[in-house]
Structure 1
């Protein structure tokens, strides 16, 4: 705890600009926020001077498959000077990946087991963040200190107001520093409401899949509230799904998520998946039909593919996709490679809902392949292979013209005439 407070004030001191105005009054409403609330920070400071606002919290992550990972969505960045800083402890390295429209990554190598990455002057917008890396050998968990700093301006009377959405903050304590004035705030889960939809530990019941086809079944449960960013992390050996994320749009209490890894194509579908199959799987979240666009937004599935499978099957890595079975057919989902290590490739796939899935890839094409457009991929069109042009050798004609014969005979007679005249 002492170390945490030390790091908190150290980060705040570093991020606090020298010209930041002194704050004489500070108010935070609501005083006891719950997940999804937007807190309003107001007070008085020196007129027309910048006020620095720092929000900081700690997150403990358990490594899985030789990697630690934490995902945040719905991070609101307003206009103005800002800094987003992550410090990871008990690690070998650290990657901080941010996405506004496209993903970009900033890495760091740890010194003494501690690594820090900072992003500054981010464009305003709604961001997603993925924090990952390699944990130190033997460590049971990795501690992340996550800090966001933003400059705002006091008006001519010295008054300032700033709003901060709690969507990206986990339940528990977080720290607020406004130009050096510190305050600890506790973020609580929302209580159940009468408007709850599909509550309970659904998704963890009996499987609809045949027992013979089940290789692995893993269920995780999370407390789900309106406007919260929900993450389910999976850890069983052989489960290629690492986590599932979505934003909840309704209050639903505790919701279960189940991943089933299958031996063959799911018995719940009527056709085999396209291309070369890496894994067949079923994924369910909540009661049957609960995880629909009315209740959740931006559902994402993170999974990995072993490089050994890619090599053994001569797979083109750019063709690896997560496919979802729906309406009697397989649909290729928007799938993005997020990274790789010595053994695996890591992907994010966006899905409208949850059902039966298959991870697939295409064999590398020989010859010259025309570039494949996004529309081709979505429609399932195969890239066209162009065979090299073969130049045929000149062929002699099978017919000899009469003119050619006459010319030959005349030449022969002239030669005979010259020889007889000479002798």
Structure 2
């Protein structure tokens, strides 16, 4: 019996059992539903994918569910239905409203429950939720061959993932990064790409974005999901040379452009057969071959591999040992490299070895020392074979970096040398400790514009001068910025004190408005409600993301502000920001209004209306450029430009009385006319009885 037959048989038994157990008048048969389920998205509508679950709800409780087997369709009459209620004891009164959830999302349609109902119910679900994806960790981090596979995970709650896109960016030094570049789209899971390292060797970072079947697109993450480094380039071998050739030995030297191992393959044919060397990573290579046969031609080649195993091999070369032993000596140093901090010293052992009975005295010297460095030998000379200790001392001003020092032995008419690689490391200044706290609330703290987090925060810093600022909070005035200078090993604490705004002076408060993400030079306008500020336009100096603003309107100056705004104050307003600093703002344009009745009652000259900004550092008010832009019956409207957002005051100056413009002659004429008028009136008046 097939899957559908089993379900249909079970439903039939269920209906029979219900009919026997419950009188027909009780109408407690389940309702059976089937139909389609469509996901409505921003670009198109598709059926839900197989595996989706449709659940029926009555009064907030689930009363039955079914799994979608075929995309966009649930149920398969007459064998398979969404049974509501699923259990006999879960009674649902006729006429009740049944709601549906698809994968946890409410469908747009409902049905009125009718016992024993068998009907088609077509459902739609709105999908505005973007899918989620992430690139998996790349291991190993260092890659010595390409291509390699990059994997990602992706999920979507409703319509299903239609596409996952891999993005990458490249850096040559793991510091300066290029722009994000689309690599490839994958349209079928499991989500993976064969990455070819298009930019060549270097450092790569990755993230993914997913798109679902109805057009919802995932936004890029704030940071990369994964990273790796690619190095497929072997060392460059140069200056291969055989020297110090005797009847039984030879010295093979070469250089590489990066630290690498030193191996020499040699023999009397191009099949070689003999190997000598070591795995120390150096750029100047020396391998001494001993036990050679006199008057014999040897083939040799050198091999060098970097720290990741990228190996290069030189071309075949030859040398011929001498037929008659010639007294000689060789010189070597161990270890062949050393590191020292500026002002420090290091040492190594120099070995001078007699070859074929060489017995002349050999003097030692060093060249190629960096500025300020000195080298001494103990002993400075000797008769081979002997050893000497070279001590290299630097000063605080010796340049940091890698230096090749040549150690030379001179004696018996022969000059032999070897190389010691000295690495001088810069002395790092000692740190200082800065603790930033706030009171009476724990607020956000910033150092040089960088958010440290919620106070208290403690960090180690290099010695220097830093500016500490504090985040805005509703109901409080933000503490003044503080400048602190730190010395080595110094520990300092900076505390910002928030002044509470009395509840009684808060006249109105706007909602909190989210500012859309802005790039440098972009702007956004926020329409403000409930305050005399009606519009704020921000122009970004640097990237702004996740910021918001709220405007509080005060009836009077907060007591913690020691000095009043200039002129007659109309309103004080505090613009509270989150995730936004003045350094991110190029300019702010503020549209505000003033009641004409206030200007009339206080004899305010409309041309003197000004928006003032409070400077918490200097405890002063700065008058901002303000212009009159229009009026209606009740209000006059103004625009002002500010470099940032903080506490503002709107003020104006009373109308000044104008000086009397008329001279004495005009006054005399006026007096004469007045007297003439009075006399004329008196003449017309009737005589008194």
Report the TM-score, using the length of structure 1 for normalisation.
0.38
Larger Rg: 2
Higher relative contact order (CA 8 A, sep 6+): 1
Report the TM-score, using the length of structure 2 for normalisation.
0.24
